[in-house]
Amino acid sequence: MSKTSETTIAKVRGDHCLNVFVSYELKDRLKSLAKKYDRTTADMVRAVLRVGIPMMEGLSEAEQIMVREYVELFRRLRKVKTLKEI
């Protein structure tokens, strides 16, 4: 594919598009939410992503802190055990 046709495709589709495969259950839940609140399914997906991304960032950060502190605690306990053996 030539550079020009790639640029044309990107302009038509847009670089902002994202295809995501989800389970039928999740899709049904999104569709029912959209119907309930008179929105499009795409609007519901955007809203879920907008809310979910900060939550996922927070969870990931908390997980990193827990692992770091666990490793630190393990090292301290190992030092204490080594000192007791001396």
0.75 exceeded by pTM? no
Range ranked top by mean pLDDT from 4-13, 25-34, 70-79: 25-34
Work out how many domains the chain is built from and give that number. Answer: 1
Name the pLDDT band for 9 (thresholds 50, 70, 90): low
Helices (H), the chain: 3-13, 24-36, 41-85
Between 10-19, 39-48, 73-82, the lowest mean confidence (pLDDT) is in: 10-19
Residue 23 lies in domain: 3-85
pLDDT tens digits, residue range 35-58?
Answer: 999 999 999 999 999 999 999 999
Has residue 15 got a pLDDT over 80?
no
Q: Which residues contact 47 (CB under 8 A, 6 or more apart)?
A: 39
